[in-house]
Chain A
Amino acid sequence: MVLLIGIVFFILVNFIVLTVSSKDALPKSGVERITISLMAPFQMAFSRSFAAVEGVWDDYFATVSASKENPRLKKEAARAVEIANRCKELELENSRLRKFIRFQDLEKEVLIAAKVIARDPSPWFRTIMIDKGSMDGLTKGLPVLVSEGVVGQVVTVAKRYSKVLLVTDRNSAVDALVQTSRARGIVKGTESEFCSFRYALRKNKIEPGEMIISSGLDGVFPKGLRVGRVVDVKEDSSQLFQAITVKTCVDFDKLEEVIVSLKDSGSDTDGL
């Protein structure tokens, strides 16, 4: 009888904990941070050794192809200098005009570079582990980026390591808009490597190839960052919204370094 009560109690506790945890209502425990702190050094040591060996191999082939690419790149570099100069002029002009119209949205930003040391062990979830944590000023909810666009946001912070939820994870959502038409929607992760752009009204004409950028309205990602490109649009006359498939700008399989944007204010601290 005692055994039966014990089993029923165990099953009940098991399913209650899983239910609460699935709804993201379970407070982050110290156990998770401690385990990350214990596991991550091994993962980091391995991924660095692996990268070093891979680097030697890649360097050899890179040197061979670099000698062929060099003349073409010199020409491109000269053109880039010219464009950069023009951009600098535009930046100065922009700054002058912003001051002129008393633009208040000049948010100070500190960027921190981090290395990807591990990925999610489960194919069902899409997270990565980075080698920066609370000691470097990271907090939960900070945006993680690369030059190509949005990567995701910090979800768990340990002392020296953090876990990042990628935009392709099905629990992820980014408030976004279409760059040309400014049609608003939400980029959500799906079960595939593509994302879906949801809640875009049918009245907004959206074509494949258009760029989706962050709107900045979710309070996590700064405005204007590239999220992905529209690859497919399906319009159903019985539906209010369009079904849009988006391919992310970032190739998550080749992600090695990321940038975490530390905002001066407004970041969420959960006591981790």
Chain B
Amino acid sequence: MIRFFFYFGISLALTIVQTSILPGFSVFSQSFDLLFVIVLSLSLRFSHPAIGVAVFLLGCAMDSVSGGPFGLYISAYVWIYILVRSLKSLVHLENIVFLICMSAVAVVVENAFLVFTFVVGKGAQAVCPRDLVFMVKQTVLALILVPLLVLAVDQLDRGVTLVARRFEGRRFDGLE
């Protein structure tokens, strides 16, 4: 239960950072989607089918607060989840190269869906070379920052779980 609240809190915090803080700084105007961190963390660490529902709900939340066509984030997150879930059985979970590759893949998947919606909605001319440069920048940025943030969330998760266990242990000792 503590982990549910932990991931819920982190997701909410990242959404607020992304919608209320980062847009105020021009340095972060080309930032990638911060919720990749949560989607990758959840997909890598857990195998429960409920994670698929959680990822879907995250996409739903992002689709609602964003001006993009509804379904864009749901599609991106669910496909990232499916990809990570299918590939994680083939590699060691602590493998940093796998994490770096999946971070880049996550940005590419989201941008591929984005290009699809632009082309379907406005035609091929809707995507200009400037957009492609922007996508490359986002991918490079995600290659460096997403693995670091995923590892940070992982450490925080372990810390929170440890504290929760100690707290449970003390309660158990008190009862004895």
Q: Tell which of B20, B114, B120 touches A46, judged by Cβ atoms closer than 8 Å.
A: B20
Q: Tell which of B34, B60, B113 touches A31, judged by Cβ atoms closer than 8 Å.
A: B60
| B: number of interface residues (CB 8 Å) | 43
Q: Which of A102-110, A116-124, A209-217, A222-230 contacts B (4 or more CB under 8 A)?
A: A116-124
A119 touching B29 by the CB < 8 A rule?
Answer: no
Tell me the bound Cα distance from A50 to B24 in angstroms.
11
Q: Which of B41-49, B121-129, B145-153, B165-173 contacts A (4 or more CB under 8 A)?
A: B121-129
A121 touching B120 by the CB < 8 A rule?
Answer: no
A-B contact count (CB 8 A): 117
In angstroms, how far is the closest chain B Cβ from the Cβ of A211?
26
Chain A's interface size range is 35 or more
A17 touching B65 by the CB < 8 A rule?
Answer: no
Q: For A121, A126, A129, A191, which residue has the most chain B Cβ atoms within 10 angstroms?
A: A121
Tell me the bound Cα distance from A22 to B21 in angstroms.
28
Seen from chain B, the residues whose Cβ lies within 8 Å of a Cβ on chain A are: 12, 15-16, 18-21, 23-24, 26, 29-31, 33-34, 60-72, 75, 78, 113-114, 116-118, 120-122, 126, 128, 130-131, 134
A-B contact pairs, 23 of them (CB 8 A): A14-B78, A15-B116, A21-B69, A22-B120, A26-B69, A35-B61, A35-B65, A39-B64, A42-B12, A46-B16, A118-B20, A119-B20, A120-B23, A120-B67, A121-B19, A121-B62, A122-B68, A125-B68, A127-B66, A163-B65, A165-B67, A171-B67, A171-B121
A31-B60, A118-B65 known; 17 other A-B pairs, CB under 8 Å?
A: A15-B116, A17-B75, A18-B75, A18-B116, A23-B121, A24-B121, A26-B69, A35-B60, A36-B65, A121-B33, A122-B33, A123-B29, A125-B66, A163-B67, A191-B134, A253-B23, A253-B24
